[in-house]
């Protein structure tokens, strides 16, 4: 079951910019991330469609958070769960999935065109076992869940006074569902996509061509194709944020606001901050998503050796 998550004012950045910057505290979902919403919507729809029956098995390929969301619900409902992940994600994700009792398969990272990619591996395993494949990227129950829950919550919590929504995209579910809902309520709400380096969505939104440069340590966001969920998004513009800016925001939020957020959340907040700077002292209400907790990546983002290896030195905002 999903419960509304609070909208937290990010006081330090709001004071600097003269805008009201808020983060949707999705790390407070039971599974610890925004992906609980996709997992809930996908499972609920599969049950309605008769694709998932008592005692059945859920299979998914994921960077981790959707798998954790699915596994959490599976444990509650008595389903089995098989999760396929790249083998380069934060150790905390594997530990959490093991604690939830899933069958975990890890594969080397590779391009999507490679049939050993975690997405294709999950599809094959689901077919071989006659299990339900969640298919979060193409299953539009994902974005529909955000349209039904996240969007309305943001609208109600801002009393209909939201001026801009800023978010990154992995499957596209969050930005699609929220943008469609908010723009139906008010077409003037500005929607900005934030993309990490190494992803092709920034280029697609700004030039119509999917291409990328650079790399990122962020997990679960950024992609080099258009998913069925992303195609439903109503996006006005896009920005790129590099890892140095992202990690600097992550430490800023910890030290100035007492918010321990993960890498995608820090990316989102940095982009929201930049949007606010562009509209300095206009008193806009800007909302973004705090996707998960920094504690899910502590072995990386709080590890000086890892940061040094990645040439990441946080700076003061």
DSSP string, 171-183: SSHHHHHHHHHHH
Give the three-class secondary structure for 141. Answer: helix
161 labelled catalytic: no
> What pLDDT sits at residue 118?
96
Q: Which residues of the chain have pLDDT under 70?
A: none
pLDDT at 1: 75
* Site of tokens 């679960």: 220
Question: 9, 24, 35, 274: which one is catalytic?
Answer: 35
- Tell me the pLDDT tens digit for each residue of 219-249: 999 999 999 999 999 999 999 999 999 999 9
The reported pLDDT for the residue numbered 281 is 84
Instruction: Report the distance separating Cα 34 and Cα 150, nearest Å.
Output: 9
pTM recorded for the entire structure: 0.97
Collapsed DSSP state (helix, strand, coil) of residue 67: helix
Within 10 Å of residue 42's Cβ, how many Cβ atoms? 30
Phi-psi region of 166 (alpha: psi -120 to 50; beta: other; left: phi over 0): beta
CA atoms within 13 A on the CB side of 216: 25
Nearest CA to 125 out of 108, 107, 111, 139 is that of 107
């Amino acid at each position: 079951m999903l419960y509304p998550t609070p909208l937290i004012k990010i006081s330090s950045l709001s004071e600097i910019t003269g805008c009201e910057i808020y983060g949707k505290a999705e790390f407070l979902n039971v599974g610890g991330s925004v992906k609980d919403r996709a997992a809930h919507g996908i499972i609920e729809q599969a049950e309605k469609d008769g694709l998932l029956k008592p005692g059945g098995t859920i299979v998914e390929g994921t960077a981790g958070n959707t798998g954790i969301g699915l596994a959490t619900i599976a444990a509650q409902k008595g389903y089995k769960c098989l999760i396929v992940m790249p083998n380069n994600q934060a150790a905390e994700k594997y530990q959490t999935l093991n604690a939830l009792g899933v069958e975990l398969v890890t594969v080397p990272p590779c391009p999507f065109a490679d049939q050993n990619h975690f997405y294709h591996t999950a599809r094959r395993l689901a077919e071989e076992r006659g299990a339900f494949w969640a298919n979060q990227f193409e299953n539009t129950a994902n974005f529909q869940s955000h349209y039904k829950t996240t969007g309305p919550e943001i609208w109600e919590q801002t009393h209909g006074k939201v001026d801009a929504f800023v978010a990154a995209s992995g499957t596209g579910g969050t930005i699609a569902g929220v943008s469609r809902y908010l723009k139906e309520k008010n077409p003037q709400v500005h929607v900005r996509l934030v993309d990490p380096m190494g992803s092709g969505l920034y280029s697609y939104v700004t030039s119509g061509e999917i291409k990328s440069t650079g790399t990122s340590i962020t997990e679960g966001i950024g992609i080099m194709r258009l998913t069925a969920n992303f195609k439903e998004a109503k996006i006005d513009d896009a920005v790129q944020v590099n890892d140095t800016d992202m990690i600097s925001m992550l430490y800023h939020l910890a030290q100035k606001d007492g918010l321990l957020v993960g890498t995608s959340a820090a990316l989102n907040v940095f982009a929201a901050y930049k949007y606010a700077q562009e509209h300095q002292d206009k008193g806009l209400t800007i909302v973004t998503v705090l996707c998960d907790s920094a504690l899910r990546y502590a072995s990386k983002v709080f590890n000086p050796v890892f940061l040094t290896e990645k040439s990441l030195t946080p700076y003061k905002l």
